[in-house]
Amino acid sequence: MMANLPRILRRCPDPKRVVIMVGINNLLMEDYAFLPDYERILATLADTLPPEQITITNLPPIRVAHLAPSAVPRLNQGLLQLSQQKKTAFLDLFAAFHTEAQSVAACFTADGVHLSDLGYAIWSACLTPSL
């Protein structure tokens, strides 16, 4: 994302809001130390946007066999702290998937990572008020 960000900002120089959800691919590749990269993304965005126009979303409760059950909640805590430090908006997708669905598993396809129709509906409902 960092490599593409300057090009994206040139194509859309005056966004009203930027919503960022980064980290799932990192986790799948067993990269648990991506928060410094996230900070660089936010620093680049801060050159263009005030913090109130940036929304950080945490990671939804993906289910992958090689991930410890605490991996996503632990990284989400780091994302919340980063959001608080940078004074951005924060969207808690993890909690929304747990409260809006009778079964969190129903929010994902069989791989436990990609969203199902229900997962997209919940994600969309969460995003809409901030957009």
* Distance of alpha carbon 87 from alpha carbon 77, whole angstroms: 15
120 domain residue, yes or no: no
Q: Does residue 15 lie within any of the structural domains?
A: yes
Q: At 131, is the pLDDT very low, low, confident or very high (cuts 50, 70, 90)?
A: confident
| 82-97 burial code (b ≥16 CB/10 A, e <16) | bbeebebebbbbbebb
In a domain, 13, yes or no: yes
Q: Using one digit for the tens of pLDDT, what is the confidence trace for 28-52?
A: 888 888 899 999 999 999 888 899 9
The predicted model scores a pTM of 0.89
In a domain, 23, yes or no: yes
Q: Answer yes or no: is 36 within a domain.
A: yes
- Domains identified in the chain, total number: 1
Residue 81 lies in a domain: yes
- Domain for residue 100, yes or no? no
CA proximity to 55, closest of 85, 90, 82: 90
Position 67 in a domain:
yes
Which DSSP state fits 114?
S
Which residue range is the domain that position 45 belongs to? 5-94
Of 45, 130, 61, residue with least CA distance to 90 = 130
